[in-house]
């Protein structure tokens, strides 16, 4: 199993550009989530999904969209990038939400200039 | 609101000593707690978890203690090794499914 994979590893965007961060898992996990991590801080939940076709907002959802058309994939879309979205983004998955161990991907480092 | 925080942002220990990393949480409804280890440039890695119906759980060289009375969580690492150097996060969750992370503590192990 590859676990949780994320692409790209690094990305530089100009303010106003849009892009999609890809996340995939091959563990047949129902629960997937996106976090951002800013320097010296913990991870903050952006959006999560409890299964295909179901998504919900986390702590910091503004400026991001998600969809879950398959169990395996959970892309994160930045609609109009802003410098405040410069961060490291992590995708995670688990068997279910809440009380199950989450497996994290290697992260995408995004810089918005 | 909900919050999970750590008492110390950095911890430096000598190789072979025991390490204790502390965490405070404020949501008494949280019923599941996790410790993650994050090495530089990598995603968080699960270390150990504990449910609210327990007060202690042991793994290999690690022990998590939960004190619900004072809403306190700690991670003990026995015989700390250079490979344990990383940032450690506590996180809490409830049946709602959201995982809330604390700020993190950087553990530095001196040889």
Q: What does the pLDDT look like over B11-44, one tens digit per residue?
A: 999 999 999 999 998 788 888 999 999 998 899 9
pLDDT value of residue A46: 96
Judge contact between A83 and A75, C-beta under 8 A.
no
Confidence band (pLDDT; 50, 70, 90) for B3? very low
The residue in chain A having the minimum alpha-carbon distance to the alpha carbon of residue B46 is A101
Which is more confidently placed, B94 or B73?
B73
A97 and B98 within 8 Å at the Cβ level: the answer is yes
Give the model's pLDDT for residue A2. Answer: 80
Chain A contact for B52 (CB, 8 A cutoff):
no
Q: How far apart are CA A9 and CA B43, in angstroms?
A: 12
Angle at Cα A39 formed by Cα B73 and Cα B37, nearest 5°? 40
**pLDDT tier at B96 (50, 70, 90 boundaries)?**
low
* Contact check, Cβ <8 Å, A98/B97: yes
> What confidence score (pLDDT) does residue B2 get?
43
**Alpha carbon of A79: minimum distance to chain B alpha carbons (Å):** 24
Alpha carbon separation from A24 to A32, A71, A93, B7 (Å, rounded): 9, 9, 9, 35
B39: tokens are 């090495």
**Closest approach of B15 to chain A, Cα-based (Å):** 24
B84: CB partners within 8 A, 6+ apart: B19, B37, B77, B107, B109
pLDDT in tens, B58-79: 999 999 999 999 999 999 999 9
Interatomic CA distance for residues B21 and B39, integer angstroms: 16
CB spacing of A101 vs B96 below 8 angstroms? no
- B44, closest residue in chain A (CA to CA): A104
Percentage of the residues of chain B whose pLDDT score is greater than 70: 90
Give residue-wise pLDDT tens across range A4-61: 999 999 999 999 999 999 999 999 999 999 999 987 778 999 999 999 999 999 989 9
Predicted pLDDT at A98: 61
Q: Nearest by CB to A41, which of B41, B46, B103?
A: B103
Q: Which residue in chain A is spatially nearest to B103 when comparing CA positions?
A: A42
Chain A closest CA to B14's CA: distance in Å? 23
- Assign B84 to helix, strand or coil: helix
Residue A59 vs residues A3, A34, B22, B36: alpha-carbon distances, Å:
25, 11, 24, 19
A106 neighbourhood in chain B, CB within 8 Å: 42-43
Helix (H) or strand (E) holding A35: strand A31-37
Q: Is the pLDDT assigned to residue B8 strictly greater than 60?
A: no
Cα(A3)–Cα(A90) distance, integer angstroms: 13
Determine, for residues B99 and A33 on separate chains, whether the beta-carbon distance falls below 8 Å. Answer: yes
Within 8 A of B92 by CB-CB distance, chain A residues are none
Q: pLDDT by residue (tens digit) across A51-90?
A: 999 999 998 999 999 999 999 999 999 999 999 999 999 9
Task: Indicate if the pLDDT at residue B1 is higher than 90.
Answer: no
Burial category of A41 from C-beta neighbours within 10 Å (exposed 0-12, middle 13-18, buried 19 and up): middle
CA distance A110 to chain B (A): 13
Pairing status of strand B105-110 against strand B56-58: unpaired
């Amino acid at each position: 199993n590859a676990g949780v994979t994320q692409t790209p590893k690094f990305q530089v965007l100009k303010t106003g550009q849009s892009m999609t961060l890809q996340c995939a898992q091959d563990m047949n996990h129902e629960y997937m989530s996106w976090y951002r991590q800013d320097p010296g801080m913990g991870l903050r939940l952006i959006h999560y999904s409890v299964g295909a076709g179901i998504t919900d907002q986390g702590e910091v959802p503004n400026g991001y969209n998600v969809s879950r058309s398959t169990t395996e994939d959970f892309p994160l879309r930045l609609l109009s990038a802003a410098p405040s979205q410069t961060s490291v983004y992590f995708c995670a998955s688990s068997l279910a939400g809440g009380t199950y161990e989450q497996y994290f991907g290697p992260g995408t480092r995004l810089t918005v200039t | 609101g909900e919050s999970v925080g750590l008492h110390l942002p950095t911890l430096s220990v000598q190789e072979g000593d025991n390490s204790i990393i502390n965490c405070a949480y404020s949501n008494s409804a949280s019923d599941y707690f996790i410790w993650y280890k994050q090495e530089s440039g990598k995603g968080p890695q699960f270390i150990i978890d504990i449910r609210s119906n327990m007060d202690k759980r042991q793994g290999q060289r690690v022990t998590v203690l939960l004190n619900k009375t004072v809403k306190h969580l700690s991670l003990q690492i026995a015989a700390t090794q250079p490979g344990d150097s990383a940032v450690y996060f506590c996180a809490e969750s409830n049946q709602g499914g959201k995982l809330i992370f604390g700020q993190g503590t950087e553990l530095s192990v001196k040889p």
